[in-house]
Homo-oligomer: A and B are copies of this chain.
Amino acid sequence: MAYKVGVMGAAGFAGVELVRLLAQHPQFELIAVTSDADAGKEIAETYPAFTGMDMPKFTNHDDPILFECDLVFLAVPHTVALKYAPTLLDKGVTVIDLSADFRLKDPDVYEKWYGVEHTATDLLANTKFGLPEVVRDEIAAAAADFAAGKPVLVSCAGCYPTATSLASFPAIQAGLSAGLIVVDAISGVTGAGKKASARTHYCFADENLEAYGLANHRHTPEIEQILGVSGENRLVFTPHLAPLKRGILSTVTLSVPEGVNISAEALQELYEGFYAESPMVEVLPAGTSPKTTSVTGTVKAQVSATLAANGRAIICLGAIDNLCKGAAGQAVQCANIVVGLPQATGLPTLALPI
């Protein structure tokens, strides 16, 4: 295979999804999986789906084998990527970061929302944002750098920002939004991570609906950055938790500016045009909702845009698998692009139909 890769933080949910994808990738050879908590254990002990497969064991984050990799994926909590990314880059290893540490261009915004100092601000200027269908130039620049022999740092978009911006960016970029941008997103429980807690306990999550992170979820500034509305007090982002494992459905309601009118046909064309070269995004007809089950386990997204309120509003919908397109799948998609492979190489694109 063409490239040696490793996953740091491989025992978490995004990490093990990376392991799943990389174990089946035709061009990436997975040689290292690290987890400080599970070091020494077989992956199959924690995730028995891997029973019987020949896989590397978990080692510690400081396992030097990572330096033998061409690319390392970081599926670690924020601040941990700040610690490891600089060294990996120094060693010439390209880093695909799934944490929040390098997503925000402005370190002050990072420090405000995450409550910690950004200790690698020198890397921010050259970090490439990983959301290929929306922030197109950055991932292209990363590929050019990699082709030129430079190690690259790609910071992949978060799960909610991915679903939300895929759903709404074409309309917002086209000037179809004034005033509040209302994002109500619903996530499955994998979004809450592997840690056992009251929130992730089956008996508290099952049959329950609730919102959380009211007015203060950390994906807020990231969505503002992607949509280009930072500092405008326009975004109201309310995440919700529902009883399923994988999937995010983001509903973005836009207020069409006074004096602006758009027909349903033009809106549909806008979306289809915007995603014409994005094979991972399916644009559904207006009035149709994406379903999370249509994309579970895949790197695909489904979106639609529908006029409402007699043309004064647009309902933008986007569905993804939060662990795949919203995390590990998007990271591998970015890695594919960086190394010059077709973006879907080795990635599942067909969900279980039932």
Contacts and interface: CB of A to CB of B under 8 A. Distances in A.
A157 B323 CA distance: 35
A259 interface: no
Interface in A10-68: 13, 16-17, 19-20, 23-24, 46-53
Given A179-B180, A179-B255, A238 B315 contact: yes
Interface in A190-238: 190, 194, 196-198, 200-212, 214-216, 233-236, 238
20 contacts: A16-B354, A20-B352, A48-B294, A179-B180, A180-B182, A186-B242, A188-B209, A202-B202, A206-B206, A206-B243, A207-B244, A208-B293, A210-B292, A211-B317, A214-B286, A235-B309, A238-B251, A238-B308, A238-B315, A253-B253
Nearest to A300: B52
How many copies of this chain?
A: 4
Given A202-B200, A202-B201, A210 B290 contact: yes
Contacts of A293: 49, 204, 207-208
B233 A51 contact: no
A103 interface: no
Contacts of A194: 201, 203, 354
A351 B49 CA distance: 6
Nearest to A317: B211
Contacts of A307: 215
Contact of A209 (B284, B319, B351, B353): B319
A79 B252 CA distance: 35
A184 interface: yes
Contact of A190 (B203, B212, B294, B302): B203
A246 interface: yes
A132 interface: no
Nearest to A293: B208
Contacts of A291: 48, 208-210
Contacts of A296: 207
Nearest to A13: B354
Contacts of A51: 282, 284, 294, 302
